């Protein structure tokens, strides 16, 4: 049973999402981190199952919209658009814009360590909320919610070629400047087998120049290459 105070909090979030839940307990579950459940040792369910579903729903809808919006683009182009839009960093930024962090139920330890600001927790919670909307109202209504949030970003990426191949660009840059090529090394893997998160470092001349985290190795490599390229372009006089 939700308290009156919690119901009022969830009213604020629903306004920001531009979606009203028929079952507030479902939204509350989407906002419940496993640290909160473990600490309370209650009958509450954490949001990990919803997160798993939400990830697939977002991929499907962003893929469908991109497929129809950019009818002359290749499979590779469409994959790059989706990777540029649906990743931990971008989903966390969306969650920050909506202000989701303040509504997440966290254990005291996670709360004290700034859990509500962590990219992983924000992006996972956003995915869980999308799954809750999908379970309650179906694909069509969820499509409207997601495209309302993502449309401008997808169009920007598709129209302005922000889905660049950062790995290729970085390799061309380092070959021309330093006469060497970058190498990529997995620094960590986390999560269950069906939902691995990879963190990859890009190394140039024995030095780590960028780090990237993604749901597959290609996404993590692209993000690490982007970070490295940004650093090198900001400091054109840099030498290895």
Residues designated as active site: 55, 127
Cα–Cα distance measured from residue 40 to residue 180, given in angstroms and rounded to the nearest whole number: 53
* Residue 94: partners with Cβ closer than 8 Å, 6 or more residues away: 126, 149
Cα–Cα distance measured from residue 149 to residue 128, given in angstroms and rounded to the nearest whole number: 15
Cα–Cα distance measured from residue 120 to residue 113, given in angstroms and rounded to the nearest whole number: 13
What Å distances lie between residue 80 and 18, 63, 142, 147, 166, CA to CA? Answer: 28, 10, 23, 18, 11
Cα–Cα distance measured from residue 160 to residue 42, given in angstroms and rounded to the nearest whole number: 49
SS3 of 231, please?
helix
């Amino acid at each position: 049973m939700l308290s009156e105070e919690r119901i009022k909090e969830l009213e604020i979030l629903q306004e920001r999402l531009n979606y009203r839940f028929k079952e507030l307990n479902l939204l509350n579950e989407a906002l419940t981190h496993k640290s909160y459940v473990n600490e309370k040792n209650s009958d509450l369910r954490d949001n990990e199952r919803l997160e798993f579903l939400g990830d697939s729903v977002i991929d499907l809808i962003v893929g469908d919209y991109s497929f129809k919006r950019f009818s002359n683009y290749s499979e590779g182009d469409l994959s790059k658009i989706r990777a540029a839009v649906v990743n931990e960093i971008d989903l966390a930024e969306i969650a920050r814009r909506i202000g989701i962090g303040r509504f997440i139920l966290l254990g005291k330890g996670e709360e004290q360590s700034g859990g509500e600001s962590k990219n992983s927790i924000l992006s996972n919670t956003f995915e869980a909320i999308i799954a809750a909307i999908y379970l309650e109202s179906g694909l069509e209504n969820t499509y409207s919610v997601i495209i309302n949030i993502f449309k401008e970003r997808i169009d920007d990426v598709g129209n302005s070629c922000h889905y660049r191949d950062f790995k290729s660009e970085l390799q061309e840059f380092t070959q021309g400047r330093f006469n060497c090529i970058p190498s990529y090394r997995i620094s960590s893997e986390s999560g269950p087998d069906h939902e691995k998160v990879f963190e990859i470092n890009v190394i140039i001349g024995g030095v780590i120049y960028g780090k990237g985290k993604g749901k597959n190795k290609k996404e993590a490599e692209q993000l690490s290459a982007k970070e490295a390229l940004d650093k090198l372009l900001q400091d054109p006089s840099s030498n290895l």
